Structure 1
Amino acid sequence: MVQYSPARLDASFAALSDATRRGVLEQLGREDASITQLAERFHMTLTGMKKHVGVLEQAGLVSTEKVGRVRTCRIGHGALDEAAAWIEAYRQMWDARFSELDRIVQELKRKEQRDGRRKKS
């Protein structure tokens, strides 16, 4: 399995555990936005939104740039790519396990059908 940074994954998943932060990422996926615009969109105070953006920024999911008095947020892909790769590795593992389970179940069904026909004769 691929090696991942546990601290970075922890930060990413902690950031993604909050519905507001997931909503912010969804919004930023459509277009960049200022913290003020995000606060208005989510009906929050500027202070509350700054905290959410800070968590996302620490996790590497968002980057910000301050021009004058406006801090613009944009989605950052690095940490999200790492989290997606981690999830994908486990998805592939579980797919393989479920495929093997399906194979075993089908084999047992065929055996059961063969045995059932022999008993009726």
Structure 2
Amino acid sequence: MANLDSIFHGLADPTRRAVIAQLARGPAAVSELAAPHRMALPSFLKHLKVLEAGGWIESGKAGRIRTCRLRPEAAKAAEDWLGRQRSLWEARLDRLDSFLETLNDIGETDDA
């Protein structure tokens, strides 16, 4: 499995995100994946290499056709990391909220 840097690098470009979205509907040939994008095939293939390095896709060749498929493990790793970050920030925000409520209670006591 690729590391998180490679996984998020795969998501860092709109072309690569579009490829991931297209592959979420099922495997596709490289030519099908490249068709909606206005770039030369060698440039598009660089995007596929980034996605493969990030663990987002795998490809195989049958005859002259190279087909790509999505690997859900990369999404799971990204989701797990984001979930841990969400929990961390929610805890921090809860502590901040408690602190602000304490300050508010102190201010109300001083006004009385």
Q: What's the TM-score once normalised by structure 2's chain length?
A: 0.88
- State whether residues 8 and 79 of structure 1, in contact with CA within 8 Å, keep that contact through their aligned partners in structure 2: no
Q: Runs in 1 of length 4+ with deviation above 6 angstroms?
A: none
Deviation, structure 1 residue 97? 0.5
Q: What's the TM-score once normalised by structure 1's chain length?
A: 0.82
Counterpart of 2:10 (choices 15, 28, 34) is 15
Alignment partner, residue 92 of structure 1: 87
Aligned residues: 112
Is residue 35 of structure 2 the alignment partner of residue 40 of structure 1?
Answer: yes
Deviation, structure 1 residue 83? 2.0
**Unaligned stretches of 5+ residues in structure 2:** none
The 5 Å alignment of 1:1-121 reads: 8-116=3-111, 118=112
Task: State, as a whole percentage, how many aligned pairs show the same letter.
Answer: 38
Distance (Å, rounded) in 1 between the aligned partners of 2:22 and 2:38: 14
Deviation, structure 1 residue 64? 1.0
2:33 maps to a residue whose letter is: L
Determine which structure has greater relative contact order: mean sequence separation of CA pairs < 8 Å that are 6+ residues apart, divided by chain length.
2
**Unaligned stretches of 5+ residues in structure 1:** none
Deviation, structure 1 residue 45? 2.3
